Structure formats: C-alpha cells, structure tokens
Amino acid sequence: MNILVTGATGFIGTNLIPKLLERGYKVIALKRSSSDISRFKFYGSANKNIVFYNFDDGRLDRIFEKEKIDVVVHLATYYKKKHLKDDIKSMIQANTEFPTEILEMMIEHGVKYFINTGTFFEYALDSNKPIAEDHQVNPYDLYASTKIALENILKFYTEKFSISASTLRLFAPYGPFDHENKIIPFMIKNILGKTNIEFNSDGFQRWDYIFVDDIAEAFIKAIDFTINSHIKHEIFNIGTGKTVSIREIFEILKTISKTNIRATWGKNTSEEIKYACADTTKARTLLKWERYFDIRKGLEVTYDWFRSNQNSWRIN
C-alpha cells in the first residue's frame, strides 16, 4: 500500500513514518524544499520504500500522476501560539487551502482515503471533565479555527464524493523530535543545562499529555479503520484520559534526571487553558487503540532522546 504523508519531516511525521515503513508500506513523503531529511538515514534498508517530494514547488498534480497513492495522511500544519497579522495568509493557506487542493487531487486520481489531524484546541475548553467528540466546538485560537474550517470542507468532500476520512484530534503531544520551544523540551533543555527555570504560569494547569509513539499507533489504526469500515467521516480523540500538571511534569523530570534545579512560578492569565482531558472511549472502541505509555514512561524516553540528540532539537 502506498501512503502519501504531508508534513513528513515534522514532529508527528518523523515518528510515524518508521512505523509505516516497518509494515511494508511505501511512503510518499511531502516536505518543504528547506526541510531536513537527514534524520531518515537511520531507517537503513527501509529507505527504498520512501520517496520525498517538495510540495512548495506548486506541482501536486505531478506527484499524483507519478505515484499510485492509496491513502493520504495529512500532518502538515502552520501553527502559531499567538498569531500576528503576517501569519494569517500562511496559516489559512497551509491549514485549509493546501489540504483542499490535496482533496481535489484525490478525486481526480481516484484516491479514496484521507486521514486528517485535528487538535483539542477546537473544543470549548470550559469543563473539568473528559471531553468527548460530540462536545461543543469553540476554537481557542485562529489555528483551531482553520482546523475547524478544514473539518467542514472535509465533510463536504466525504458527502459528495467517494472519499472516506478519519480525523484524529490530538491532545497534548510530546516525545522525541518535538520542537524545543514547547514546554516539555523547554524543561529538559534547562535541566540538561543545569539552569533554573522561570515559568510564565503557576504550573497548575492540567492537560492530557499523549506520547508520540501512541499517536503514531493511532494513525496506523485509523488507516486500517478508514479502509475497512466504509465510513464517510469519523472524528477520534487521541489522549490518555488522564491529566497532569506542569508542576508534576517538572518534578518527574527532576527525578528522571537526578537533578535539583529550581523553578520560579508565575501567574496564569485569563487566556490560559486550565484543564483539558480526552474521553478516548470512541478511539478505544472503534479503532481498537489503547495508549501504552504513561506519563513517567513517556518522559523517560523523551528525556533520554533529548539528552542524546542535543544538536537535533529544532524540527522543520
């Protein structure tokens, strides 16, 4: 089976592609022309089953004409925690226009299966209970708004054409190859540098942190489900069903690293998400997916990776 992966060299793609190759799939990997593919050299002979294309040359049609694609896994995204005016055009293009062009190419070339990536930021995060897929949608930021826009576009294509789709709404991903500016790599970076940390918040926010290997397995399950279930479109939450605070993560990392750096805690703003937890019943029932890594085990693997790869932190 041939799987086209957008955003192939990003955080999720870098962890998912080895699992696709291990299963004997051919991967058609879309990337920016500036992206670094050196990390894929570690997969040895499996590289014969991966081919890279630059999507920013404006010729998606050539890729679909040359490669017989069975499934599209859409990971590419443009994210800004707080967008600026100059980000708007790029965000809308990357998060709505580009995947819509992919969907048009799928129709033209008879590709039937699309796996989409969403975010828990799409939900109304006003509850202290686990959030199910039918929870109210209320975008947290412009990024989440573009993700919701794509969901509506995807609904049109699955209703009007022979495309089946699944969307995985990821809660808070972490793990090897994560971007150094995110909270867990930020903490690890300072621990490795033996630098005390000044946090901008009080650290009591409780989020559902999901290890990237478990996310990759969810994508594998979603591919199988989407092909075999004859659905039009389903949405699945991917999380652990449990929350952990930033303070707790900091203490776990201190224990793992056997260091005793200090933290200075700040104050939360009204914009902070205080609580976010996934109800994963649907994913466990329909996808037959279960998370394997608890927070301690996931942080151990993440810490060891960052300690061993201190020159590979920034992901394109």
Cα 178 to Cα 197: distance, rounded to the nearest angstrom: 19
Q: Is residue 200 part of a domain?
A: no
Contact of 131 with 97, CB cutoff 8 Å: no
What does pTM read for this prediction?
A: 0.94
**What's the total number of domains in the chain?**
1
Percent of residues, the chain, with pLDDT higher than 70:
94
Establish if 217 belongs to a structural domain. Answer: yes
Let me know if residue 22 belongs to a domain: yes
How high is the pLDDT of residue 57? 72
Domain containing residue 81: 2-178+209-240+277-291
Q: Is residue 231 situated within a structural domain?
A: yes
Tell which residue, 75, 53, 78, has the closest CA to residue 63.
53
Three-state DSSP at 299 gives: helix
Q: Is residue 120 part of a domain?
A: yes
* Tens digit of each residue's pLDDT (9 = 90 or more) over 252-274: 999 999 999 999 999 877 678 99
Q: What is the pLDDT of residue 315?
A: 41
In a domain, 146, yes or no: yes
- How confident is the model at residue 311, as a pLDDT? 62
Among 19-33, 57-71, 120-134, 275-289, the range of highest mean pLDDT:
275-289
In a domain, 298, yes or no: no
Residue 184 within a domain: no
Report the CATH number that the domain containing residue 167 is assigned in CATH: 3.40.50.720
pLDDT at 189 over 80: yes
Tell me the β-bridge partners of 71: 3, 113
Give the separation between CA 146 and CA 251, rounded to whole angstroms: 35
Enter the DSSP assignment of 114: E
Question: Does residue 100 contact residue 31 with C-beta atoms inside 8 Å?
Answer: no
pLDDT of 36 strictly over 80: no
Torsion of CA 161, 116, 206, 130, to 10 degrees: 30
